[in-house]
Each structure stands twice: as C-alpha cells, then as structure tokens.
Amino acid sequence: MTVHRPADLASASAADGEYRAGGTDVEERHRLGISTGPVVDLSGIDELRGLVVTDDGGVRIGAMTRLTELETLGGLMADAVRGIVPGLRAVGTVGGELLQRTRCWYFRHPNTLCLKRGGDACPAREGDHLYGVVFDTGPCVWPHPSSLAPALVATGAVAEIYGGPDRLVEDLYGDGSDPSRDHLLGPGEILVAVLVPSVDRWSHVRVEPRSASASPLVEVAAAETGGVLRVAAGGVAPAPRRLMAVEEAVAAGAGAREAAAMASEGAAALTGTAYKVPLLQAAVEEALETLA
C-alpha cells in the first residue's frame, strides 16, 4: 500500500488516492482486497483537528476528531456513536464515520462484484438483503452505514468542505440514486469539520439484533432547536433519511404514535426488509416520546 502523508489541505487535495482518516474502513477494505491503490493519509493535517464550542453554543468538530472524543461533548453526539464498539471509536474519526463506505455483505465480500465495485447489477436486490433498505430510492439496496449522520441531519449541522462549497450534512449524501457513491464529495474535496448548532431537546434510538452489532437495524435521531424539530433515520435508506412527514405531523400537533406512523411515508420495502417498517415506526415513536 502506498501512503502519502500530506501536511496541509492543499497538498492533500492535490494528492492522488483515497483519503484515509482513522483508517478503520480503508484498512479493512484493503485487507479484504476490495480496495486497492494509494491512500492519502490525513492525520498530519492540523486544520482537520479541534473540537471547539462556538459563540452561539454550538460546536465545531474537526473531521479528524476521534469518535471517543465525542464522549466529552455528551448529548446527542455521544449517544449517536455509543453503539460503535469502544475499540473502534478510539481509532475511527468523525470524517471517516460520515464518509465510510457501505457495510453491505456483498460489497464487503472478497469475491463479489456489485454496483459499487465495477459490477453491472446489485446482487443483494435479488439475493439476501435481510439488512437492506426500506426506502428503495436507488439501485443500491443497502442502507447507509453512518450512525452519526442521522444525528447531524437532525441538528441541521453544516459540513465545512475544502475544495468545494460548504453544505448541510443532509446534502452530503444526495438521494441515494447514484449507487456508485456513498457520499457526494468528489476528488480533491475534503471534509474539514462539521458545525453543529446547539439543540434544546434531543433523543436517539438504536435498534440492534444483538448487542454491539456492526450495523443496527434502525437508528433514529430527533433534535429540536428553537421550536423546530428534525427527525432523521439510519439503517433504512441508501442515504441518511430525513423524515419530513413525521416532522410535519408533529408540527401539526399529532401525538407521538400518530406522527411515528408517518415515518414510513415513501417507504417501499424489499421482500426481505418489510419487517423494518414497524421497527422504524416504533423507533420514531420512542424518539418522539423520549425527546428531552
């Protein structure tokens, strides 16, 4: 493996290869042989570090912040990553967590081809997609793996990008219609930090088939800021999904259960994932009930 270690953003942006932050995802893919080529190690770049509370009570989290460090913040950020096992949290970074590649078992298998690996079909769609999406919004049927993204989307966080425009975290991912990508950052674009506004009330729910699962079945984050509630879900769509219909129902005065029922609006489950629909609704209901 060829490793570049640029010292600043400009040379990182110009370097050739996949970025590597904590490396937990990149190293695994290289070990499996499903990713090859040079890597550009971001660990020597000071601009990507730092965890600062901003004047308005929000927080700016550098992309190279380790997931363990989020524990010091407490609140939604800490809760969102608690399901990732501690030894990985100590290595993985916020940037890598948000921009990691899918955990689809076809994609991660050393001997398969799929839409994300140069193939021309998705073997999971006709095959075994037990942990797949319920919002079938694109050719790829595996949910986006990030646990932090739904939480950031719920807070309305902004991603600071080097080499491209800043944007809402929500807009880092698109609608999942392009199966080749797990996020929309292009070559030379580097996530520098996320700006997380302060929130008044929040909640987080993770549903796992077994404790310490690599990928939860469903995750829901809810956050309220200045009377505006945002709800987002992971585990259900090719991109972290904002649940607007739920938000609207709450705004219109619906109770938790009634609003939660709206979580499945737009859902089109696969044969093997229909069970996730009630799980999503239940998780949203709990998230609304426990908003504190």
Partner 1 sequence: MGSIEVTVNGERRRITPTGRTAVDVLRVDLGLTGTKLSCGNGLCGACTVWVDGVPAVTCVMPAEALDGRDVVTVEGLSAEGLHPVQHALLAADGLQCGFCTPGMVMAAAAFHDRWRRDHGTGRPGRQEVVDALAGNLCRCGSGPAIIAAVQDACEGRYDTPGPYPRPRIDGLAKVTGSARYTDDLTFDGLLEGVVLRSTEPHADVLAVRAEAALALPGVRGYADLLGRSRRVRYTGQPIGVLVAVDRATALAALDVVEVVYAPHPAAIGLEAALAPNAPNTHLRRWTPPSNNEARPAPARYHGNARGPQFAFSKRRFTARRLVKAARAVGDPLLVEETFRIPHQVHAAPEPHVAIARWDDDALTVWVSTQSISSLERKLAKRYDTEVTVISHHVGGAYGAKQSITDEVVAAVEGARVAGAPVRVRYDQAEDLSYSGHRPGDRIDLALLASATGELRAVQVTSYADGGASAGQTVAGLVRITYPGAPMDLADYDVVSNAPPGKPFRAPGFPQVLVALEQAVDEVALRLGDDPVDLRRRWSRRPLRHLLYDRVAAHPMWRDRPGFGAERGRHRRGVGVAFGTWYYGYDPAVRVAAALEGGRLSVSTALQDMGQGAYTVLATAVADTFGVAVADVEVRAGDSRLERGPTSSASRTSPSVYPAASAAAVRLHAELLEAAAEVLGGPVEAVPGGVTHAGEMIPWPDLFDRLEDRRVEAGRPKDGHVPATPFPVEGVQIGWGLSDVAHLVEVDVDTRYGTVQPRRVYVALAAGRIYAPDLARSQVEGGVIQGIGLALYEERRLDLRSGLVLSADVGSYRYPAMGDTPEVEVEFIEEGFEHAPGGGAGIAELAITSAPAATVNAVANAVGRRFPELPLRPDRVLEALR
Ligand X SMILES: Cc1cc2nc3c(=O)[nH]c(=O)nc-3n(C[C@H](O)[C@H](O)[C@H](O)COP(=O)(O)OP(=O)(O)OC[C@H]3O[C@@H](n4cnc5c(N)ncnc54)[C@H](O)[C@@H]3O)c2cc1C
Please give the residue ranges that form the binding site for ligand X (CB under 6 A): 18-26, 28, 42, 48, 63, 83-84, 88, 91-93, 95-97, 99-101, 145-148, 185, 190-191, 214-216
Rounded Cα distance between 183 and 88, Å, is 21
**Half-sphere exposure at residue 186, Cβ-oriented, CA atoms within 13 angstroms:** 3
- Site mask for ligand SF4 (CB under 6 A), range 94-133, x = bound: --------x-x-xx------xxx-----xxx---------
Rounded Cα distance between 162 and 42, Å, is 13
Report in angstroms how near the CB of residue 279 gets to ligand X at its nearest.
16
- Which does residue 140 bind out of ligand X, partner 1, ligand SF4, none, counting CB within 5 to 8 angstroms by kind? ligand SF4
Report in angstroms how near the CB of residue 36 gets to partner 1 at its nearest.
10
Rounded Cα distance between 50 and 244, Å, is 32
- The one-letter amino acid code at 84 reads I
Q: Among residues 40, 81, 141, 250, which is the contact residue for ligand SF4, using CB under 6 A?
A: 141
Rounded Cα distance between 77 and 155, Å, is 10
202 contacts 291 by C-beta, under 8 angstroms: yes
Q: What pairs with residue 162 in β-bridges?
A: 190
Radius of gyration (C-alpha) of the chain in whole angstroms: 18
- Which does residue 145 bind out of partner 1, ligand SF4, ligand X, none, counting CB within 5 to 8 angstroms by kind? ligand X
Q: Which stretch binds ligand SF4 (CB under 6 A): 24-32, 136-144, 186-194, 212-220?
A: 136-144
Q: Is 19 in the site for ligand SF4 (CB under 6 A)?
A: no
77 contacts 148 by C-beta, under 8 angstroms: yes
- Contact positions toward ligand SF4, by CB under 6 A? 102, 104, 106-107, 114-116, 122-124, 140-142, 179
